[in-house]
Structure 1
Amino acid sequence: MKLFIKNGTFITMNGNETIKDGYMVVENEFIQYIGKEKPVENDYDQIIDGSNRIYMPGLVNTHNHAAMSLLRGYADDLALQIWLEDYMWPMEAKFTSEEVRWGTFLSILEMIKGGTTCFVDMYDHMDVVAQAVETSGMRACLTRGMIGFGGKEVQDAKLNEAKTFAKNWHGKANGRITTMMSPHAPYTCPPEFIDKIVQAASELQLPIHTHMSETRHEVLENEKQYGFRPVAHLQKLGVFDQSCLVAHAVHLTDEEIGILKEHSVHISHNPGSNLKLASGIARLPELMKEGILVSLGTDSAASNNNLDMFEEVRLAALIHKGNTFDPTAIPAVDALRLGTIDGARSIWLNDVGMLKEGMKADFISVNSNQAHLLPKSDVISHIVYSASASDVVDVWVDGKQLVKNKELLTLDEERIKYEFNACFERLTT
């Protein structure tokens, strides 16, 4: 299959490059050509006129719990620990594989139609999550999240399940699915359990993904219980000796930033969720200045309450300007990098996140002929400060079109919504 797009505007994320009235050729799953000059060849299976379209890499959401879409709006305006312990965990205890399946499918539906082509998911019943990803055509980095409550038998069962899942699914779906190992958080996993997870990650040669330093309460409790703040605690347990992606990292000292830099730890910044739960504002400008690789995540639809990565990009650009009184703190292009190429690199994907010859064809188109995206001046500025998920028109992953003129091609949208609503009714009656 050979696709030719002409007359488009391309945000490549290859540096600050934007190509206006340009051309792109996709052959099978790879970008074969992108540039200002029209290619000489004309043997194409499909030709698209990209006039009034902005083409850009698909967005990468590096922290999510997709099945929690079932709990969107169930409990809002609460502190994290109350929200989790009194509302989320009791409801999640009722989830079966069917709830996880349809909650995940609804999140995938929202993400794909909103321009997200790849996501990280940490949850339970991960086989059905992987099956949903495979069916949808999306790309995902999946991990069986492990909360360490319960005795040794419970912990060992979770760890064995996580290892089996990783072995069965890593590299599947034509490489679109990768896996990690995930202790939920230092405050939900005893040190001995984290030790076992680190050993398993080392044996399987897989990265580790965990929540860390999300709230002040969490940091203080970790210090009270173990004598260390979360960063030193996880460092001591060898978590950072593996490739590691931590979610949130809101409450960090200068010394802790130095430790994360030394160990090349990646951070998923979740501005929307952190604001809504009043967890705080991460030290993004300082992290980026130190060269730490930061990406963006929505967290779940229960804590956000949407999966619009355009919103996360905009928040990342805006809140740090306001928080530092510096309008140059996070420029638009840097914010967009967080949601695209830096997201891909944060989960060790080196062939997506950029429109460039030889890269995988994971890209989206946005309708630029709309009032809020005119005049046709700085397209990166428009994407960051003006665009939203609803502006996405077309989506491709691995060179395969998943959304065409806003219509999802790989999934039955109406069935997903029907089954999702049925699951919600069962949970709440």
Structure 2
Amino acid sequence: MNILIKQATVLLPDGTVKETDIAIEDDLIAKVGTIAPDWHIDREINATNKLVTPGLVNTHTHASMTLLRSYADDMQLMDWLQNKIWPIEAKMRKNDIYWGAMLAIAEMIKTGTTTFADMYADMEKVGEAVAETGIRAVLSRGLIGSAPNGNKALEENKELFQTYHNRADGRITVMFGPHAPYTCPPDYIKKVVKEAQSLGAEIHMHLSETIGEVENCVKEYQKSPIALMEELGLFDCGVLAAHCVHVSDEDILIMKKHDVRVAHNPGSNMKLASGIAPITKMLDAGICVGLGTDGASSNNNLDLLEELRLTTLLHKVNQYDPLAIPAAKGIQLATEYGAKAVGLPKVGKIEKGYKADLTLFDMSGTKWCPRHDIVSLLAYSANSSSVDTVLINGKIVLDKGILVTMDEERVMYEANRCAMNLLK
């Protein structure tokens, strides 16, 4: 199908904006610029007064935790996990995972996200939801090696890879998901690495999220979590590392050496009081950093535009430097860098040959006036209520604020029903 996005204000790869057209052929951007008059058009989108950006990329979340939104708040991380989250997660069944994922996908599409990286249990149900809704996803089965089902979960991750990797028109890719060093002993990590390498899969893992995690790792293994994972060969697989809040200069050198990509989750890190990840040091070292929301039980939303704004503001005040993360850099982290972080080479830019994953923002509202600097307005002024239309893989999934591939009312009903049943 050929789609013409006409008279748009387009965010270009160099961070500037230009009024032009975008031609889409099937799942790819065919041209950015004046389109030949004889080019066949199946559908035209009038994008006058619309800003078109690459779709936002959520590099780290736990989609089905939408069922636990507002369930357990204002707690320390380990208290939150051990006494509230893990006990209720043990009651979750496949139907809960499916509807929790559907609710998450609805929220992400409506807030401009076109790709997400997910880690949880029963991931085949998330795969079903992704296939049905048209979103792009990087899925991994959360693995807790210290749990009685650790080996079974590893087998499930293998099956997930074999069933879903590069499926749904190539929208789904699969990684392995060891949870964290404190839940996955070294021998288990070695098993994960072996299985991932046998399939050519990469790894998505929480690393160095809290001070306590790092201190306990050093006490037990005489190494930081980053150094320990290097010793165990984890970084030989290609790694998306979530959080990386408490990393030393030596850790950053190791991460750069192995091309570890980072999912920065400012909202979750702030809410759980985990700390502030030194992402400007990482960026200066040449490490790829994308943005993530984490799960809706620790954020409590999946609005990546909000994470973009938090990122630009948080690092300014933390470093007493208004230039720490400028608006254009923040947008780059949310799009191009995010796509690289989750391992997708032709996603995240509005450029010929890239996937047609696009978000259209309606600039008619007061928050977009006056327009001295549209890039600045997107980062500092706009919010996700401006999201008008979303295309993923060349298909329209949100049309003027209406979900095309989902029954939003039913999704909310079923998700709420599942959440309430978990409390019984």
Query: Normalised by the size of structure 2, how large is the TM-score?
Result: 0.98
Structure 2 partner of 1:280: 275
Tell me the SS of whatever aligns to 2:139. strand
Inter-partner Cα distance in structure 2 for 1:147 and 1:44: 50
Structure 2 partner of 1:10: 10
Structure 1 partner of 2:76: 79
Structure 2 partner of 1:187: 182
Please say if 1:377 is aligned against 2:376. Answer: no
Inter-partner Cα distance in structure 2 for 1:221 and 1:269: 22
Structure 1 partner of 2:332: 337
Counterpart of 1:163, as a letter, is K
Identity of aligned residues (%): 44
Please say if 1:103 is aligned against 2:109. Answer: no
Structure 2 partner of 1:34: 32
Structure 2 partner of 1:56: 53
Report the CA distance between 1:268 and its aligned residue: 0.4
**Bigger shift: residues 97-106 or 375-384:** 375-384
Inter-partner Cα distance in structure 2 for 1:164 and 1:428: 31
Inter-partner Cα distance in structure 2 for 1:34 and 1:163: 40
Query: Normalised by the size of structure 1, how large is the TM-score?
Result: 0.97
User: What's the CA shift string for 1:324-373, capped at 9, x where partnerless?
Assistant: 00101111111101100111111121111111111110001001011011
Inter-partner Cα distance in structure 1 for 2:90 and 2:279: 34
Please say if 1:113 is aligned against 2:115. Answer: no
User: What RMSD, in angstroms, separates the aligned Cα atoms of the two structures?
Assistant: 1.0
Tell me the SS of whatever aligns to 1:180. strand
Counterpart of 2:201, as a letter, is L
Contact 1:308–1:388 (Cα < 8 Å) also in 2 = no
Counterpart of 2:417, as a letter, is A
1:384-423 matched pairs, under 5 angstroms: 384-423=379-418
Contact 1:313–1:335 (Cα < 8 Å) also in 2 = yes
Question: 5+ unaligned residues in a row in structure 1: which ranges?
Answer: none
Report the CA distance between 1:378 and its aligned residue: 1.2
Inter-partner Cα distance in structure 2 for 1:100 and 1:38: 44
Q: Quick one: which of 188, 192, 201 aligns to 1:197?
A: 192
Tell me the SS of whatever aligns to 1:185. coil
Inter-partner Cα distance in structure 2 for 1:318 and 1:150: 39
Tell me the SS of whatever aligns to 2:60. coil
Contact 2:264–2:292 (Cα < 8 Å) also in 1 = yes
Counterpart of 2:120, as a letter, is Y
Structure 2 partner of 1:162: 157
Contact 1:114–1:308 (Cα < 8 Å) also in 2 = yes
Please say if 1:228 is aligned against 2:227. Answer: no
User: What's the CA shift string for 1:227-264, capped at 9, x where partnerless?
Assistant: 22101111111111111110000001111111111111
Report the CA distance between 1:265 and its aligned residue: 0.5
Inter-partner Cα distance in structure 2 for 1:110 and 1:299: 14
Contact 1:56–1:364 (Cα < 8 Å) also in 2 = yes
Contact 2:196–2:202 (Cα < 8 Å) also in 1 = yes
Question: 5+ unaligned residues in a row in structure 2: which ranges?
Answer: none
Contact 2:145–2:151 (Cα < 8 Å) also in 1 = no
Counterpart of 1:425, as a letter, is M
Tell me the SS of whatever aligns to 1:19. strand
Inter-partner Cα distance in structure 1 for 2:216 and 2:5: 55
Inter-partner Cα distance in structure 2 for 1:85 and 1:311: 28
Counterpart of 2:16, as a letter, is E
Q: Quick one: which of 107, 115, 123 aligns to 1:126?
A: 123
Report the CA distance between 1:376 and its aligned residue: 2.3
Report the CA distance between 1:67 and its aligned residue: 0.5
Inter-partner Cα distance in structure 1 for 2:230 and 2:30: 43
Please say if 1:69 is aligned against 2:66. Answer: yes
Report the CA distance between 1:38 and its aligned residue: 5.0
Inter-partner Cα distance in structure 2 for 1:276 and 1:305: 9
Report the CA distance between 1:42 and its aligned residue: 4.8
State the number of aligned residues.
424
Inter-partner Cα distance in structure 1 for 2:350 and 2:364: 22
Structure 1 partner of 2:256: 261
Structure 1 partner of 2:295: 300
Report the CA distance between 1:44 and its aligned residue: 1.1
Counterpart of 2:10, as a letter, is F
Structure 1 partner of 2:167: 172
**Bigger shift: residues 40-49 or 212-221:** 40-49
Contact 2:114–2:135 (Cα < 8 Å) also in 1 = yes
User: What's the CA shift string for 1:138-172, capped at 9, x where partnerless?
Assistant: 00000001011235xx3221111111111111000
The list of structure 1 runs, each at least 4 consecutive aligned residues, that deviate by more than 6 angstroms after superposition, is: none
Inter-partner Cα distance in structure 2 for 1:424 and 1:43: 47
